[in-house]
A = this chain, B = another copy of it.
Amino acid sequence: MFLKNCWYCAGWDYELSQGNNKFLARRLADEPVVLYRKRDGGVVAMEDRCPHRQAALSLGQKEGDSLRCMYHGMKFGPDGMCVEIPGQAKIPPTARVRTFPVVEKDNWIWVWMGDPAKADPNLICFAVGPGDPEWNIRTSKITVKANHRLEIANLMDLSHAHWIHRRTLGGTSAWVNEKVERTMTPRGVRNVVWFRSVPAPAFAQHLFPPDARFDLYIDFEVTLPCNFVIHFQVWTPGTATTGPSNGRMLLDSYSSQAVTPVDEDTCEYYFSWGSSKATDAPGLSDMLYEAVDDAFREDRVVLEAQHRNLKERPDGNLVNIVHDAGPEKMLRLLDRLLAEEAAEAAAPRARLRA
């Protein structure tokens, strides 16, 4: 089950060139979607299914801003309307393809899978993209064979960094013990925490003497459906015990992450990490990028095994622990939004019956 009235990431903008055959064939929330770029730079998202005999439109060709299905040659405008049926003058009004609202923002392509009338660009989560002139950001993606709810739970509880990521992002038990300040946002939770006088993250410890200590600022927002943006700073250790460090800032960085459900068993994980140009140094942003790339492969192993176990025993009793508060908050919000969508979908039928 997937939220439909929301923005799902369908790719990085550089994945969609103006090439004649350049289509992205994605599966978003269990529906096949084809994306392509128009001459003016705009992006079109359509159901990847020809209304004639369900051929995949992503195997077609571009003609101007239109897409021609290359099985029998039917041509569709960027609004999904059929504009040509070769060998036939009359075009039936049913010859149309469903289209989806698309927005490009922060170098990400976002698609709205629900009611187009509700497609509010303000619901797109904040991010810092690779094109931002103030930041040096590197990007990638990996595929995870697990339900996106497991990703939400993973992202909402950073204590796992100390365990899963002990060789990459971890390196201090503050991940487990520091209390995180949480604030609800319209579709998510913002989480802020300072780690004071702790070792560098594991991926960077080789750069410093063993007794080097730092203050770390971690400010991450998780937004439904499954987006995660972390503002991460490293400071020399200060003396402040509450509020911002009074040391000196060494690194200012952003990692933006968007997890898109492909189907009930698969996610695409789009992610980036890099530092501000002011605090970058040769190889530094590259190292940050490599650290999350490594870390998400660590998560992948764990989440895929967890997913298989949960599929086998979906009704298994679960023991709750203190770190579940964050994940549960977010999953309950997701469940509430899903219930609202289901109610809205049922409503017109109710009216017809009344």
A: which residues have CB within 8 A of B?
32, 48-49, 51-56, 58-59, 68-74, 82, 85-88, 92, 94-95, 153, 157, 159-160, 162-164, 166, 173, 176-177, 301-302, 305-306, 309-310, 312-313, 316-323
Residue numbers in B under 8 Å from A82 (CB-CB): 319
Instruction: Kindly provide the distance from the CB of A115 to the nearest chain B CB, expressed in whole angstroms.
Output: 20
Find out whether the CB atom of A176 lies under 8 angstroms from the CB atom of B87.
yes
Report how far A90 CA is from B236 CA in the complex, Å.
Answer: 35
Known: A55-B302, A163-B70, A301-B59. A94 touches B309 (CB 8 A): no
Find out whether the CB atom of B305 lies under 8 angstroms from the CB atom of A87.
no
Find out whether the CB atom of A316 lies under 8 angstroms from the CB atom of B49.
yes
Residue numbers in B under 8 Å from A157 (CB-CB): 72
Residue numbers in B under 8 Å from A55 (CB-CB): 302, 305-306, 309
Residue numbers in B under 8 Å from A319 (CB-CB): 51-52, 82, 92, 94-95
Find out whether the CB atom of A159 lies under 8 angstroms from the CB atom of B56.
no
Report how far A160 CA is from B59 CA in the complex, Å.
Answer: 13
Find out whether the CB atom of B54 lies under 8 angstroms from the CB atom of A159.
no
Residue numbers in B under 8 Å from A95 (CB-CB): 319, 321
Residue numbers in B under 8 Å from A316 (CB-CB): 49, 54
Find out whether the CB atom of A71 lies under 8 angstroms from the CB atom of B309.
no
Find out whether the CB atom of A166 lies under 8 angstroms from the CB atom of B321.
no
Residue numbers in B under 8 Å from A322 (CB-CB): 85, 87-88
Instruction: Kindly provide the distance from the CB of A265 to the nearest chain B CB, expressed in whole angstroms.
Output: 15
Residue numbers in B under 8 Å from A302 (CB-CB): 55-56, 59, 70-71
Report how far A95 CA is from B318 CA in the complex, Å.
Answer: 9
Residue numbers in B under 8 Å from A68 (CB-CB): 163
Known: A160-B72, A302-B59, A321-B88. A309 touches B54 (CB 8 A): yes
Residue numbers in B under 8 Å from A74 (CB-CB): 321
Find out whether the CB atom of B313 lies under 8 angstroms from the CB atom of A159.
no
Residue numbers in B under 8 Å from A310 (CB-CB): 53-54
* Contact pick for A177, options B59, B87, B166, CB 8 Å: B87
Report how far A71 CA is from B153 CA in the complex, Å.
Answer: 11
Find out whether the CB atom of B51 lies under 8 angstroms from the CB atom of A318.
yes
Q: What are the 7 tightest A-B residue pairs by CB atom distance, in nearest-first order? A: A56-B305, A54-B309, A88-B322, A70-B163, A51-B319, A86-B176, A73-B163
Find out whether the CB atom of B159 lies under 8 angstroms from the CB atom of A32.
no
Find out whether the CB atom of A52 lies under 8 angstroms from the CB atom of B305.
no
Find out whether the CB atom of B163 lies under 8 angstroms from the CB atom of A305.
no
Instruction: Kindly provide the distance from the CB of A186 to the nearest chain B CB, expressed in whole angstroms.
Output: 27
Find out whether the CB atom of B92 lies under 8 angstroms from the CB atom of A56.
no
Residue numbers in B under 8 Å from A163 (CB-CB): 68-73
* Most chain B CB inside 10 Å of its own CB: which residue of A49, A51, A73, A164: A73
18 sample A-B contacts, Cβ–Cβ < 8 Å, listed by A number: A32-B309, A49-B313, A49-B316, A52-B319, A54-B310, A55-B302, A56-B309, A59-B302, A70-B164, A71-B163, A71-B306, A72-B157, A73-B176, A74-B321, A85-B322, A87-B176, A95-B319, A95-B321
